[in-house]
Amino acid sequence: MLDGRLSLTTPEGIRLLLTPAGPFLRALAWALDIAIYGVAMFVLYLLLPHGKLGRGIGLVITFVAYWGYPILCEVYWDGRTLGKRATGLMVVRANGLPVGWRESTLRNLLLVADFMPMAYVTGLVSMMLDTRFRRIGDIVAGTLVVHRDQPASQPLPPQAAPIAPPFAFNADQQRTLTDLFERESRLPAERMAELGTIAEPLTGATGAESVDRMRGYVAGFTQ
């Protein structure tokens, strides 16, 4: 973990690269969630009827919302509460898969242990001593809090008129040409022209003209 990332392989053989989140961002996400919870409860108490009935209903809702909010968000919202969403974090299982009811319930109920003796001191010490920044709840539940990578944008297909290739390309040949034009913006024009000349047996042209023909081939694949 020299670069701070974990390399995990799912049961389906998919390789995942995950970056564990440190104490600062996790504390910020928690503070945001507490603030949201506090505002929601304040508004709720303003709407409830006065008297013992209103206080009783308020206490029940306060208890259910305090424990239910993070669990429901993590299970149904890709491991993210509102605070985690704002800070770009998410909860996953130790193998990189989404959390379920068991994992989310365990990690949130054990917030009590992480709070001891006060102000989440135990949880902070646990995160500082663990290479994956796990608090006690994460260790017991088998979960990780990681940075959520933004999905990579799909490159646009080449803007060119489709040209029929001289022969039918197989899947690997199509992928090779498509990859070339996905990287075109990062290659100097001279290098592209050189590659065009190398591809003369395929295009029957050299330099930029050959590149334009290959771009037309790729446009035919992707349109």
Give the 3-state secondary structure of residue 48.
coil
Hey, where are the domains in the chain?
6-147, 171-222
Strand pairing category for 15-18 and 6-9: antiparallel
Strands 89-93 vs 143-147: parallel, antiparallel or unpaired: antiparallel
Ordered per-residue pLDDT tens for the chain, 223 residues: 444 678 777 665 666 788 999 999 999 999 999 999 999 999 999 999 888 999 999 999 999 999 999 999 999 999 999 999 999 999 999 988 899 999 999 999 999 999 998 888 999 999 999 989 999 999 999 999 999 877 655 555 567 788 888 888 888 888 888 888 877 777 788 888 888 899 898 888 999 898 888 888 888 876 6
Instruction: Residue 41: name the closest of 56, 63, 22 by CA.
Output: 63
**Residues ≥6 apart with Cβ < 8 Å to 163:** 213, 216, 217, 219, 220
CA separation for the pair 199, 217 (Å, rounded)? 13
Q: What is the pLDDT of residues 66-118, one digit of tens each?
A: 999 999 999 999 999 999 999 999 999 998 889 999 999 999 999 999 999 88
